[in-house]
């Protein structure tokens, strides 16, 4: 599995948010992006997901330029910015609704994922009653539950208690060892360092490689 970002720039009007970005991602690795809020991290992740098109350049997955086809990368799940679920449904019901789109998994897989992210005790509580950290955990569960090949997380540990954050780090390392491609972004360096195999800094739309593990 190979995801290539080639000469990608993104402008909104006269504002250039990303500038000539070139990256290569492969399965079996965790890639981390650090940078202050507004640096361009979330825009890059949204472009990878196919939510935005590029102003210049191209993105391909295993040789297929999916943006040109007005499509999305195959078997990819993402949590970008704040999670957003239906407020009057429970955590479990929200995941159940999402899983019904492709019918890849059943209740057992959903419950097992809720256990993984320490959310089983909150599964039957309405989403509107969730705390910030609980909402974040449900968003992470949504990414994990269908066993995707590519997982993308924006500020994944925002509001999550340390014990669960450590559990999720272990889960991500396990998924990496299964050959998954994982991309993380955070304005908190500690969320990325020690977890990612390759680390990039995003500053004013420029992406610079910082460290190999």
Per-residue pLDDT reduced to its tens digit, 135-176? 999 999 999 999 999 999 998 888 888 888 898 899 999 999
More confident residue, 200 or 210: 200
Residue 186 in any domain: the answer is: yes
**Tokens 């079996």 identify what position?**
28
Which domain does 54 fall in, by range?
Answer: 1-75+181-213
The tens digit of pLDDT for each residue in 85-113 reads 999 999 999 999 999 999 999 999 999 99
Residues sharing a CB contact under 8 Å with residue 206, sequence separation 6 or more, in sequence order: 19
Question: Distance between CA 151 and CA 170 in Å, rounded?
Answer: 15
Residue 166 in any domain: the answer is: no
Residue 82, pLDDT above cutoff 70: yes
Residue 8 in any domain: the answer is: yes
Question: Distance between CA 56 and CA 70 in Å, rounded?
Answer: 15
Q: Are 77 and 151 in contact (CB under 8 A)?
A: yes
Residue 133, pLDDT above cutoff 80: yes
Residues sharing a CB contact under 8 Å with residue 183, sequence separation 6 or more, in sequence order: 25, 30, 31, 32, 33, 45, 48, 150, 151, 152, 153
Say how many domains are in the chain.
Answer: 1
Residue 12 in any domain: the answer is: yes
- Strand, coil or helix: what is 173? helix
Residue 29 in any domain: the answer is: yes
Q: List the beta strands (DSSP E) in 36-94.
A: 56-61, 76-79
Residue 27 in any domain: the answer is: yes
| Single pTM value for the model | 0.91
What's 37's domain CATH number? 3.40.50.300
The closest of 171, 97, 106, 92 to 134, measured between CA atoms, is 92
Residue 30 in any domain: the answer is: yes
Q: What is the mean pLDDT of residues 10-16?
A: 92
Residues sharing a CB contact under 8 Å with residue 8, sequence separation 6 or more, in sequence order: 18, 20, 21, 22, 47, 54, 56, 57, 58, 59
Q: Which residues pair with 209 in a beta bridge?
A: 200
Residue 156 in any domain: the answer is: no
């Amino acid at each position: 599995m190979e995801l290539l970002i080639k000469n990608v720039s993104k402008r909104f009007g006269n504002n250039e948010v990303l500038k000539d970005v070139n990256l290569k991602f492969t399965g079996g690795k965790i890639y981390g992006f650090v940078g202050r809020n507004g640096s361009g991290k979330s825009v890059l992740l949204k472009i990878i997901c196919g939510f935005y098109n590029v102003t210049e350049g191209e993105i391909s997955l295993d040789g297929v330029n999916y943006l040109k086809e007005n499509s999305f990368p195959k078997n990819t799940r993402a949590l970008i910015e704040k999670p957003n679920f239906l407020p009057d449904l429970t955590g479990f019901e929200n995941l159940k609704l999402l899983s019904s789109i492709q019918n890849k998994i059943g209740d057992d897989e959903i419950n097992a994922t809720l256990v993984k992210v320490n959310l089983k005790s909150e599964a039957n509580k309405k989403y509107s009653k969730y705390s910030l950290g609980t909402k974040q955990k449900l968003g992470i569960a949504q990414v994990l539950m269908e066993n995707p090949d590519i997982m993308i997380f924006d500020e994944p540990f925002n509001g999550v208690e340390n014990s669960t954050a450590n559990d999720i780090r272990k889960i991500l390392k396990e998924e990496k060892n299964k050959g998954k491609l994982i991309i993380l972004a955070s304005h908190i360096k500690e969320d990325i360092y020690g977890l990612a195999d390759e680390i990039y800094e995003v500053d004013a739309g420029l992406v610079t490689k910082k460290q190999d593990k």
